[in-house]
Amino acid sequence: MMRRVPQLLVLLTALSTRANAQLLSVSGNPGALNVVGATPGSNPNSVSNASTTYTVTVIFRAKIAVSINSAMPSGLTLSVTLAAPPSAVSQGAIALSTTAQDAVKGIPLGTVLSTRGVTYVLSATAAAGVVASTTRTVTLTLLPDP
């Protein structure tokens, strides 16, 4: 029996903040994420994109929090992983929500123009069905890390 596989599209935009001598910037937007295949009897295959980077400069110990502008449709999860600068700690894959969550902690004071990778993963359950193309804005926020 042939079953129709959900086709999902999410376009992402990363935003950054700048305050005093602090700097957080992103290299651009990743491409569209399309979930188009599934193993029979399983959830659709996840897709990932690691084409963007972020660059951070801080004069105080800092962390980076991540969030999206609106909740994902039912059955879809968008996750992000930020690689950590030297001596900082990545919190691993973060399932994005409208509530900011720490993605990198302990960025040492004096970190200058450290560029690291950003990886997005879009996963779906079979219950998601066919989802119309949608866009989410991903916000990276630089904050003090006591």
Q: Give 76-114 as a DSSP string.
A: EEEEEEEPPPTT-EE---EE--SS-EEEEEEEPTT--SE
Burial of 140 (0-12, 13-18, 19+ CB in 10 A): buried
Cα–Cα separations (whole angstroms), residue 30 to 26, 42, 119, 130: 10, 27, 9, 22
Whether residue 5 is predicted with pLDDT greater than 90 in this model: the reply is no
Percent of the chain residues topping a pLDDT of 70: 86
Tens digit of each residue's pLDDT (9 = 90 or more) over 32-62: 888 877 777 788 889 999 999 999 999 889 9
Which pLDDT score is estimated for 20?
A: 53
SS (H, E, C) 52-79: EEEEEECCCCEEEEEEECCCCCCCEEEE
Token readout for 115 is 């560029």
Q: Give the separation between CA 126 and CA 55, rounded to whole angstroms.
A: 37
Percent of the chain residues topping a pLDDT of 90: 50
Which pLDDT score is estimated for 54?
A: 94
Q: For the chain, which domains are there?
A: 8-144 (2.60.40)
pTM: 0.85
Q: Give the separation between CA 22 and CA 29, rounded to whole angstroms.
A: 22
The one-letter amino acid code at 129 reads G
The alpha carbon of 92 is separated from its chain's Cα centroid by a whole number of angstroms, namely: 11
